[in-house]
A and B are shown apart, each in its own frame.
Chain A
Amino acid sequence: MSASLRTDGAREISSPERSGSVLHAWVTTVDHKKLGILYIAAGLLFFVIGGIEAIMMRAQLAQAANTLLEPQEFNRLFTMHGTTMVFLVGMPIVTGFGNYLIPLMIGARDMAFPRLNAWGFWMFLFGGLVLYMSYFASMGLYGAGTAPDVGWFAYSPLAGKAFSRGNATDYWILGILISGFGSISGAINMLTTTLTMRCPGMTMNRLPLFVWMMLVVSFLMLLALPVLTGAQVMLLFDRFLGAHFFDTQAGGDAVLWQHFFWFFGHPEVYILMIPGFAYASEIIPVFSRKVIFGYSFMVAATLAIGLVAVGVWAHHMFTVGMGQGLNIWFAVITMLVGVPTGIKLFNWIATMYGGRIQLRMPMVFCIAFLGQFLIAGLTGILLSGAPLNWQLSDSYFVVAHFHYVLIGGLVFTVFAACYYWFPKMTGRMLSEKIGRWHFWLFFIGFHLTFTTMHVQGVLGMPRRIYTYPAERGWEVWNAISSTGAILQGLGVACFFVAVIVAFRRPAQAGPDPWNAWTLEWSTSSPPPAYNFLSLPEVRSRRPLWDLKHPDDPDWEHE
């Protein structure tokens, strides 16, 4: 929708010819598609920033006793890297795809609350800008700006006034707090849209798996984010008003912060990862030319993951000393997550089994995801055992594990989603040739960086150290890790080259370039502002299949 001209009271006519500027149209938009693209674009911008921070850290660690970065600079980098990647990359990208696709997939014309949708995006963006404002505005030594350095989970009492002087930590709190409100509003919107705006015939049993999974993600967001928001307000009270919630010397409880943070933090892993499952669940069937294996079980497994996700938070706290009873409880519940997750993995593989697999870029990324996420899950099971966790906690083994989850799992599926839905969003195809460079550089770089980190962890290298002595046997592994980081950077650069090349070419993707089955592929690419001129009516989970194959429609089998 471009600028609009008021004609009769409340009605305006959208008129591209009379539009002021493209920028104005984007800034004032309430269209879910534009907001989705804005979310994704902002997320990718922060991804580049977070990636540069990671490469700087890897450059510092590439050799022993390196002096490229000062210790405090390193602390700020890992804090900003972690915070950026979780809150300013993962969250907006999954929300962006949800925003863009949910109305299209359920046959709606927009989200339930379009203006709230716009507000959510701006809150996220301003939250991110507030966080990065700390580099310039936060009070540091000699009047220079300084970023927060308390880690992405800002443990108390480190985050308290006594140990975090100045206001860099306040910027961290405020930035995340503001963007958190945006995420909560986004969750309310996705939830309401899915529950109330489905087109005729789109029963819950016919929802695309993508929408089902985003529904569970929305519930998790609503459950987890307010807890973090509340804890951050409490921390602000501690820092500004002299409260003592987390001040142990005045009767407060530092472990309470850990409970609050991880009650948010672990569901957050699933808030980020379930959308990855959602992309894979749409892409794998299309490129296997088969219906998804075990739809009902996939839905049930997602619900089970959502349920279990809120009961495992303290497995991040085995080393705190919670006692044997709680340790055993959280270890067992954590291991249980492996069951529904395993069901999903088996179902994706069973979907591919016997299919006519097309190794296009979305599918290639998804196949890599399957193997990598399996490894991530297995190391997760290892870490869920409290005794082994005591040995490996805060080591590079843990760093390897969660990067296998968030990069091997999420980022690979996000790239798969980008290649898959980019034609829908822009009408242009991303180059397969550049895509293959992207994939192989990123894939090899990823494994060089993070597979080796398992070894570093087992050899005892602690995380967050800014340097290390030469005689510990860690040099070669760190050198390999750092080389891999550069390859990953080159891979991501290839992706942006592919995007630029695509925009220099004419739009010719057509409405349905992948011969897919969900509703978004029935409208033009990019879709008009209203999505569908007349609302579709569906009879099965794959409405386009029914239209393309009237001799064998899905509704006869569901």
Chain B
Amino acid sequence: MREENGIQEGTRAREGEGIELPASTTAPLYFALGFALLGVSLVTSELFALAGAMLAVWGGIRWWGEVLPRERETFVPAQAEAERAPEVVPAAGHATPRAGGEDRHRARLPLEYHPYGAGLRAGVAGGLAMAVVAGVHGLIVQGSPWHAFNAFAALVLPLFGAAPPSDMTSFHGVVVLSAGIIHVLLSLGIGLVYASVLPMLPGHPRIWGGVVAPLAWTGAGFVCIELLEPSAVQSINWLIFILLQIVFGLTAGEVISRSEPVRTLQSFPLATRAGFEVGDEEEGL
């Protein structure tokens, strides 16, 4: 069916009165039943084949008559006014754009991110705060500031095939160096992850960084350590472990939340994105 003057052929409308539509018919039913009986005759009897052929021919002829020489149509009167769907009217109030501004609900997320430098700074600050608290805790409880380094090394070094330190309270240069390097790398990495992920989460970065992430990280750490070094699970003080994660998370979250977020390209007007105009953000460059 093609369109003629905006109205589909075969469904012509008489404005206000009704529509002509294809008339109902039994032809397809007979035609289909004939086909089905012809098929079933393979496993029943010739009588089914005979009945099927007759019905299929009868249905086919009727079908032919439905469309030639002209399509048989039925006139369907228009619904009474009371039955019709009311016209769609403008909704009360306005659509609420997300994030409070100019079509942002249509932009891709995230609309802004924290610079990677903030992530690195957060990692350094968080790692430092964590080390200080661990050192103070070791000094008070174990009588040595190196206990935390040795305990960390005892956890990590066996994974690389190296022997853990024998004495947990003495200073071991290689142990402190290797534990320190691993701690710094982990801190920087997690700081970068925080900077990337925190802007995409609702609410305040301190909550996610200081509470949710440490708990999730502790859970993940527990599972990994149990898998990789089951004996170490017993030797870890999980309370202080969680406390240290929270110290890291709060510090890193604070550093990140203080950084100036950078708007992503999606928040710029199309002309700016296409390079035809210089956006406000770039005027100072």
Contacts and interface: CB of A to CB of B under 8 A. Distances in A.
Contacts of B193: none
Given A4-B24, A115-B22, A177 B85 contact: no
Nearest to B11: A109
B90 A290 contact: no
Given A1-B76, A528-B79, A25 B24 contact: yes
B140 interface: no
- What class of interface size applies to chain B in its complex with A? 35 or more
Interface residues of A, number: 71
Contacts of A557: 103, 106
Interface stretch (A126-134, A220-228, A279-287): A126-134
B174 interface: no
A557 B36 CA distance: 52
A12 B23 contact: yes
Given A291-B106, A529-B21, A534-B13, A178 B35 contact: yes
B73 A12 contact: yes
Interface stretch (B1-9, B121-129, B149-157, B163-171): B1-9
B128 to A, nearest CB: 35
A14 B32 contact: no
Interface stretch (B91-99, B176-184, B211-219): B91-99
Contact of B13 (A114, A511, A533): A533
B240 interface: no
Contact of B21 (A3, A25, A110, A122): A110
Given A130-B40, A354-B98, A14 B74 contact: yes
B271 interface: no
Contacts of B32: 119, 122-123, 126, 182
B137 interface: no
- Interface-central residue, B28, B35, B84, by most chain A CB under 10 Å: B28
A95 interface: no
Given A130-B39, A196-B2, A524 B105 contact: no
A178 B39 contact: yes
A446 to B, nearest CB: 28
Contacts of A133: 40
Contacts of B6: 200, 535
A529 B76 contact: yes
A426 interface: no
B27 interface: yes
A534 B74 CA distance: 17
B251 to A, nearest CB: 29
Contact of A30 (B22, B33, B105): B22
Contacts of B70: 10
A535 B8 contact: yes
Contacts of A108: 8
Interface string A112-155: 10111011001100110110010001100000000000000000
B216 to A, nearest CB: 19
Contacts of A350: 109
Contacts of A130: 36, 39-40
Contacts of B39: 130, 174, 177-178
Nearest to A547: B88
B12 to A, nearest CB: 10
Interface string A1-38: 10110000011111000000000010111110000000
Contacts of B43: 137-138, 167, 170-171, 174
Contacts of A197: 1, 3, 8
Contact of B90 (A30, A515, A523, A550): A550
Contacts of B280: none
B75 A13 contact: yes
A390 interface: no
A10 B24 contact: no
A181 interface: yes
A332 interface: no
Nearest to A182: B32
Interface string B57-93: 0000001001100111111111100011110111100
Contact of A548 (B19, B25, B90): B90
A127 B36 contact: yes
B18 interface: yes
19 contacts: A14-B76, A14-B77, A28-B24, A28-B25, A30-B25, A30-B28, A109-B8, A129-B36, A167-B43, A178-B35, A236-B42, A240-B42, A350-B109, A515-B91, A524-B83, A524-B85, A530-B78, A535-B6, A548-B90
Interface of B: 1-3, 6-8, 10-11, 13, 15, 18-29, 31-33, 35-36, 39-40, 42-44, 63, 66-67, 70-79, 83-86, 88-91, 94-95, 98, 103, 105-106, 109
Given A123-B36, A126-B35, A528-B83, 4 more contacts: A4-B74, A115-B28, A535-B8, A547-B88
